[in-house]
Amino acid sequence: MSRPELLTVARLAPFLMEPLQAAFTVHDRLHESLLDNDTSAFATAAPRIRAICGSGESKVGADLLAQLPALEIVSIMGVGYDGVDVAACKARGVVVTHTPDVLNDDVADLALALMLDVARRIPQADRHVREGRWPQGNMPLARKMSGARLGLVGMGRIAQAIAQRALAFGMSIAYTARSAKPALPYAFHATPAALAAASDFLVVITPGGAATRKLIDATVLDALGPKGYLVNVARGSVVDESALIAALQKGTIAGAALDVFENEPHVPEALRAMDNVVLTPHIGSATSATRQAMADLAFENLAAHFAGRPLPSPVPECR
Ligand code: 8YV
């Protein structure tokens, strides 16, 4: 029996590409040939493609779906799938899967690391020593993080992992989300602005997509205030990046630590030039162990689908 044909829509790690190539006929980012007006190879393969595999940043829109009449499943190696038109998939009977939970620890660890980095100015301290400036004087005093007020924008499983870590630092925990979760022992605020006004560290950990686009805007930043810090480990789209740059430049907030950006991998020069900002290149889940677990789960979703087994992790909209 011929192997199912699969389109990759992202550069996937070898530890996912290799099992895919063993089990499927893989067309590696063949759809990009359309951008070069080289339609022949894609037009030949497209009618046979039954599966897509991509990353959390991949775009799978209605236009691509319309060219794949035999598509059955979209498997995303990532917890976020905001680039996938899930409604269009569902309308076609195409199931979407992702890789939740296996990356919770890594993203939560990075959130705490970024909070400490921006409060205690650890990158700046490293440069102070490394550039030989210590003999000229000590660093300015920083901001204590233990015992501070943490505000979580979003209260899913990663946010709960961040909260558990923050409790060990003696922090108070509050959150905002679409609805209160009374089973959790944390204070709920109905809006991001109300939460920001009651927080020292505002950590963004919502899904991306239209529902959260620019959720963190100038009003929220004003409420966070001149002693407040913004940390984003969710999606760049959730923060109004222009408003953030203005707030940082004017001292509306004290600082920011960002792992995600509106136009990755391009980060505005204004952010890269500021001393009260910590920047990392979307490394929330970027450890060998976690990416292997994500790859294994993304592959298992595909294998289960074609073997007629229950899917390990369909997205909530497809359950
Ligand atoms: C990676 C992520 O960027 O899981 C997500 O949604 O943003 C990260 O894990 C990517 O998805 C890994 O493929």
Extract the runs of DSSP E, i.e. beta strands, from 33-192: 49-55, 73-77, 95-97, 149-153, 172-176, 187-188
d(CA 121, CA 137): 16
Q: How does pLDDT run across 249-269, given as a tens digit for each residue? A: 999 999 999 999 999 999 999
- With 0-12 / 13-18 / 19 or more C-beta atoms within 10 angstroms meaning exposed / middle / buried, residue 198 is middle
Residue type, position 98, single letter: H
Q: Do domains 5-100+288-318 and 104-279 have the same CATH topology?
A: yes
Q: Reduce the DSSP state of residue 171 to 3 states and report it.
A: coil
- Please provide the CATH number assigned to the domain covering 104-279: 3.40.50.720
Each domain of the chain, given as residue ranges in start order, spans 5-100+288-318, 104-279
Q: How does pLDDT run across 225-258, given as a tens digit for each residue? A: 999 999 999 999 999 999 999 999 999 999 999 9
Q: Name the superfamily (CATH) of residues 5-100+288-318.
A: NAD(P)-binding Rossmann-like Domain (3.40.50.720)
| All residues at 6 or more sequence positions from 111 whose CB lies less than 8 Å from its CB, including other chains | 162, 165, 203, 205, 231, 233
Q: Is residue 282 annotated as a catalytic residue, yes or no?
A: yes
Gyration radius (Cα) of the chain, Å: 22
Asked whether residue 172 carries a pLDDT value surpassing 90, the answer given is yes
Residues facing 52 on adjacent strands: 7, 74
Q: What is the dihedral of CA 146, 260, 215, 203, to 10 degrees?
A: -10
Determine the residue of 53, 79, 81 to mutate for testing ligand 1's pocket, defined as the one with the most ligand atoms within 8 A of the Cβ atom: 79
pLDDT at 40: 83
Q: How confident is the model at residue 63 (pLDDT cuts 50, 70, 90)?
A: very high
Residue 228: CB within 6 Å of ligand 1? Answer: no
Q: Whose CA is nearest to atom 13 of ligand 1?
A: 55
| All residues at 6 or more sequence positions from 286 whose CB lies less than 8 Å from its CB, including other chains | 106
d(CA 27, CA 291): 22
Q: Whose CA is nearest to atom 3 of ligand 1?
A: 56
∠ CA 250-212-152, rounded to 5°: 70
pLDDT at 264: 97
Q: How does pLDDT run across 293-316, given as a tens digit for each residue? A: 999 999 999 999 999 999 999 999
Do the beta carbons of residue 256 and residue 231 sit within 8 Å?
Answer: yes
Residue 117: CB within 6 Å of ligand 1? Answer: no
pTM higher than 0.85:
yes
Place of tokens 């990158």: 123
